Structures are given as structure tokens and as C-alpha cells.
Structure 1
Amino acid sequence: MRIGDAAAAAGTTPRALRFYEERGLLPPPGRTATGQREYGPGEVARVRVIRELLALGLTVEDLRTVADRIDLLVEDPRRRCGRPDSGVPGSGVVDRRIAALDAEIDRLTRQRTELALRVAGVEPQGG
């Protein structure tokens, strides 16, 4: 299928498909005789997984480090891809992202508490 159809099937845009290809997340697709990109069901499934992982907070750079294993998640979404104990080079991406999210949650929780105290007219501790 052509890029527009593949993008629609994956729930994204042709521009996103080109971006994923440029960043190494999506292998270069086959080309028609006229040079147009041509995608199959495997590429569409891979793009869906990429979009799911990005929506879960992984970055494009995170995904670049595990790009060779994205197809494993296409085959079996429960697969433990990117975990330190997976025995796969470049693992730990998910755990690092979870740690970063936990740190951000802690920071935002402290910020929210301080703001609520100030609004209530209470001087925050240490301030």
C-alpha cells in the first residue's frame, strides 16, 4: 500500500512515516516502479507499536536504541524487550524511562504541594 494508506491504517500521517524512517525506527520501505514508497502489513504493525511506545513516554531516541527489537513486540506484545535482565544488548531503556518518570512525578508532587500551601497562606517548609 502507498504511504497515505499505510499512514491511515497505522493511525498516523505520511509525514510521521517519513520521520520514523529518517530516524531509523522504520526500515526503508520498498519502492514502486515510479519510486513511491510501498508498505505492507508488517510495516503498519511496526508503526502502531512505535506509536504506542511513544505514547507511553519513550522517546524517539529511546526507541532508536532498541529499533532492532521493535519487531519482537509486533510478534508478541508481552515480550520483555529492553529490560536489564533480558540479556539483550542495549537493554534497560524501559527502566530508565520509568525512573525518569518517577523523578518527574516526585518533582511535580513537591511543586503542587508548595503551590497549595502558598494558596492556603501557609509558608512551605524550608522557604
Structure 2
Amino acid sequence: MRIGDVAAATGLTTRAVRYYEEQGLLSPGRTPSGHRTYTSADIRRLRTVSELLQAGLTVSDVRSFAHVLDTTPLRDPAGAGEPDRCDVAEVAQHRLGELDQRIARLSSIRDGLASQLTNRFGDLFAPAPAPAPPPGPAPASAPASRSGSCPAAHGT
């Protein structure tokens, strides 16, 4: 399969597919003339990478555990204690912690702005209430300390 077909099948641009290859997230085969060739496994990997990036991970995050993207599904409890799984959990917890910090900072900025506008303009300004958090479990926060079974965090 050629790069245009893969881009269409994954909803990515050909430039994005090449970029993910440059970043080490994909290793397509090559024809004797040097053209890239892709398999259904490459399409699955690209979809996984795209979903992880859309969920909030960075390319660096995904690259740090790219070696396990094509293994047993990460939600499989049978692999829960493996060191590779630990890499995934650690990166995810780190990213979730960073997002929680950004959300708290932005909420504080929003509240400060609403307060300043109310103080300055009084009745002329009726700020909209802060949006309610989405339903579901409370967001996970970064662990206070690393467990002894996980290696040091990968740089992001």
C-alpha cells in the first residue's frame, strides 16, 4: 500500500505519516526503487499514534514507549506488571499531572479575570459561571513519588 492510501485510511496527511516515520514511530518497508510500502499493521500503529496524540500525549511521550505499541493491548491485565507497561503508565501519569496543573492554572486565571471584571464593571458585567467538570471519575493526578518498580521518567 502506498502513502496516499495510508493517509486516506488513517485520516492523516501524507506529511504527518512521513513526520511520524522521521520521529521513529513508524518503519515502513521500501520497494527496490525506494518507495514506502505500508501494511495493515502500519495503519493500526498510525491510528494508535493518532489517538494517543489526540488524547493529549506528545510525540516524545509516544516515542518513549513506541516499542510496546504493537504488543498485547495495553488494557490487558495479564501484562500489568511488565516493565514495558510501567513505561506507559509512568508517561501517562506524568502527562496527566501536567494537564491537571495547567487546568488549575487556567481556572485560577479565569477566576481572577472574572473577579476583576466584576469589580471594575459591577452590574454591567455578569460573568458566566465556570463550566461544570465533565461527568465521570475525578482526573488522576501525578504520583507524589515513583514506585520502586519503575525506572526513572523519560524526558519529554
Whether TM exceeds 0.5 here: the answer is yes
Say whether 1:100 aligns with 2:108: no
Q: How much does 1:14 deviate?
A: 1.1
Query: Cα 1:24–1:79, aligned 2, differ >3 Å: closer, same or farther?
Result: farther
Match of 1:115 among 88, 113, 116: 113
* Rounded Cα–Cα distance in structure 2 between residues aligned with 1:25 and 1:118: 46
* Greater helix content: 1
Q: How much does 1:34 deviate?
A: 2.4
Query: Cα 1:77–1:48, aligned 2, differ >3 Å: closer, same or farther?
Result: farther
Say whether 1:68 aligns with 2:67: yes
* Rounded Cα–Cα distance in structure 2 between residues aligned with 1:101 and 1:13: 27
Q: What is the number of residues matched between the two proteins?
A: 116
Structure 1: 5+ residue runs without aligned partners? 123-127
The structure with the largest alpha-carbon Rg is: 2
Q: Secondary structure at the match of 2:119?
A: coil
**What's 2:9 paired with?**
9
Give per-residue Cα distances to partners, 1:1-48, cap 9 Å, x unaligned: 001101110110111111111111112x11123221000100001000
2:87 maps to a residue whose letter is G
Q: Which runs of 4+ in 1 moved over 6 A?
A: none
Structure 2: 5+ residue runs without aligned partners? 121-156
Q: Secondary structure at the match of 2:25?
A: coil
Give per-residue Cα distances to partners, 1:85-126, cap 9 Å, x unaligned: 65326340000000000000000110010011011017xxxx
Query: Percent same amino acid among aligned pairs?
Result: 43
TM-score, length-scaled by structure 1: 0.82
1:32-71 equivalences under 5 Å are: 32-71=31-70
Say whether 1:87 aligns with 2:72: no
Q: How much does 1:65 deviate?
A: 0.6
* Rounded Cα–Cα distance in structure 2 between residues aligned with 1:79 and 1:114: 44
**What's 1:125 paired with?**
none
* Rounded Cα–Cα distance in structure 2 between residues aligned with 1:8 and 1:98: 31
Work out which structure has the larger RCO, using CA pairs closer than 8 Å and 6 or more positions apart in sequence.
Answer: 2
Q: How much does 1:78 deviate?
A: 2.6
